[in-house]
Structure 1
């Protein structure tokens, strides 16, 4: 009998935690990836400050999410992210120049562009560019609605600078790592998803997201919720699920992502708040806490496919709270406002998903029975 045969079939939580802690401190592929993420985020923060970006946390998050797989894969994602960001920013500028920013125009625009961006993300060959196209347009238009005194060209420019800073940092770290650590621990290829063309279930799914997005301007009008763009990002992000698992209702797969986003954001937010309290404005402590949060979040993300999205949201919360726009004026309020907006996005989306599920209960039941038969 080999040592592997003596392992319990169902390890306890304590045993799983011990195993993950051993992996965390053991040099290897996962450690290399986690340290790459730390270096990428820190470099993105520095570059974002140097180029005059405003929302530094978005630059940091761009650097984090881009870093996946070998350098070739990272480069492709970087190019697609920049193309999507530039196109979304350009369309946002054009939108303001061609309209008077009436409420119905904003509602229609964020619904249409966000829906197209999500549908492209689910079905297109250059999916990542479609996603960033929709996200960038959404963020700029909602930020402009919230801050009427700001120039939309300035907003568009800072979005491009933020993504550019994160992208540049990610590419630099990926190239350096390829020449050093990745010679011993090569990065794993991310499985590619082939384009699916026209897909009615994906179209229905995108329409549900578009309806949720269209409600954000109305909510801002009556409740004046700050950082509302984060609610829009949440709506689009949690709706990104494999087309093959949609069926006639995306309620089940999206609900799992909603739960993981909620748990990940709460856990990451609590850790970040504790670090912020202990740091008491100390920049070195804030940076060290940011590094700790990145390593923990990426370690969770790399641990299992089931918890990957939870780890990503954990890191998002850490970056939102611990990466201020200005280290000279560190405060928890901006991070909390962005976190609240994330949960508002969830609250808007859930009733729409439930309604869509109930509209076609017979189809949903048929899909469920087919899935069950296939799994058996």
Structure 2
């Protein structure tokens, strides 16, 4: 059975999930409203059973990644070579298992969270526990908000079985390629951030890891679609700043409308759905800041810049590895995350 596609009802569900996630995080006094919003955006799904699978795996993966990452950060404090090795292994393992395991969603976000915690610990060890605690609460706000909205408004249900792991063939070379790209990209971003103060580390990491693929051609297409989606999302987000966003009803309405717009492509299926996925992420990055509505342009620019830097790092490393490993450069059909 095919996965349900988009309709106006699903657009309302997705937009309401994001707005409610931001409201939950704000009521709890959590700074990272952006994390809550993107968690709701990524978990929202026309298939209710798929939503619950993603929600559970997202929470479990995040919790394990935070716990293990916090322990490793404490143990490896003051030893940059070990920290770099941990980041390489976490990113590589996450990208490998994302395609090899039926629980790839949990693996991916667990390893991604571990990498983020270890990286942040390089300069913020004293507040690391609070940082880890905040990340879990923020993501939980997004997941719970999305699940609650979909449960209350009773979306369509699918009897389709869970999708099988992507790596169904015996060729493991593509998986090792994805692991190497993810590992080296993670270390490169960690180095850039610690040495130059790379803006918006979270956005850079997410952007980089999301577009890694076991096939170079697919990864290249996803990177191009991410650039296009980010340009659209950032442009719409910057245009939204023209409204009086200090007014809560106006802010909620603008955020709802933008998410509804991008959900059409995000959940619509087809080759261009990934543009909608990334457009929604960029729109959220532009419109949702740690304090709520954006009150300055520079933080928005930093977030969008982080997205482009992350993709640029991944593409550069992919080209280098393709040259060294001789990977095929075909570009098969790609879809959303």
TM > 0.5 fold call = yes
Q: Is 1:193 equivalent to 2:164 in the alignment?
A: yes
Shift in alpha-carbon separation, 1:84–1:280, aligned structure 2, 3 A: closer
Displacement after TM superposition at 1:262 (Å): 0.7
Q: Which residue of 2 aligns with 1:5?
A: none
Distance 2:64 2:226 in 1: 28
Counterpart mapping for 1:49-88 below 5 A:
49-88=26-65
Displacement after TM superposition at 1:213 (Å): 0.9
**Is the contact made by 1:103 and 1:217 (CA closer than 8 Å) also made in structure 2?**
no
Distance 2:151 2:7 in 1: 17
Q: Which residue of 2 aligns with 1:230?
A: 203
Displacement after TM superposition at 1:70 (Å): 2.8
Counterpart mapping for 1:70-149 below 5 A:
70-145=47-122, 147-148=123-124
**Is the contact made by 2:15 and 2:260 (CA closer than 8 Å) also made in structure 1?**
yes
SS at match of 1:68: coil
Query: Gapped runs of 5+ residues in structure 2?
Result: 333-337
Distance 2:286 2:120 in 1: 19
Shift in alpha-carbon separation, 1:278–1:98, aligned structure 2, 3 A: same
**TM-score normalised by structure 1 residue count:** 0.80
For each residue in 1:67-112, what CA deviation from the matched residue of structure 2 results, as whole angstroms up to 9, or x when unmatched? Answer: 1133222112111111000001001210122112432222211111
How big is the alpha-carbon RMSD for the aligned residues of Structure 1 and Structure 2? 2.4
Counterpart mapping for 1:148-187 below 5 A:
148=124, 150-178=126-154, 182=155
**Is the contact made by 1:114 and 1:135 (CA closer than 8 Å) also made in structure 2?**
yes
* Residue 16 of structure 2, aligned match among 22, 25, 39: 39
For each residue in 1:163-184, what CA deviation from the matched residue of structure 2 results, as whole angstroms up to 9, or x when unmatched? Answer: 1101111111111121xxx3xx
Q: Which residue of 2 aligns with 1:218?
A: 191
How many corresponding residue pairs?
326
Distance 1:140 1:338 in 2: 19
Displacement after TM superposition at 1:282 (Å): 3.3
Q: Which residue of 2 aligns with 1:260?
A: 225
Distance 1:202 1:274 in 2: 40
Query: Gapped runs of 5+ residues in structure 1?
Result: 1-27, 372-376
Shift in alpha-carbon separation, 1:297–1:329, aligned structure 2, 3 A: closer
SS at match of 1:277: coil
Distance 2:246 2:185 in 1: 38
Distance 2:262 2:229 in 1: 9
Shift in alpha-carbon separation, 1:95–1:297, aligned structure 2, 3 A: same
Displacement after TM superposition at 1:359 (Å): 2.1
**Is the contact made by 2:50 and 2:162 (CA closer than 8 Å) also made in structure 1?**
no
Counterpart mapping for 1:191-340 below 5 A:
192-194=163-165, 196=167, 199-239=172-212, 241=213, 246=214, 250-279=215-244, 281-327=246-292, 330-340=295-305
Displacement after TM superposition at 1:190 (Å): 8.7
**Is the contact made by 2:48 and 2:157 (CA closer than 8 Å) also made in structure 1?**
no
Distance 1:290 1:188 in 2: 32
SS at match of 2:124: coil
Displacement after TM superposition at 1:188 (Å): 8.9
Higher helix share: 1
For each residue in 1:179-231, what CA deviation from the matched residue of structure 2 results, as whole angstroms up to 9, or x when unmatched? Answer: xxx3xx65696971336477232122211210111112221233112322321
Distance 2:90 2:295 in 1: 34
Displacement after TM superposition at 1:335 (Å): 2.5
SS at match of 2:30: coil
Displacement after TM superposition at 1:328 (Å): 7.1
**TM-score normalised by structure 2 residue count:** 0.89
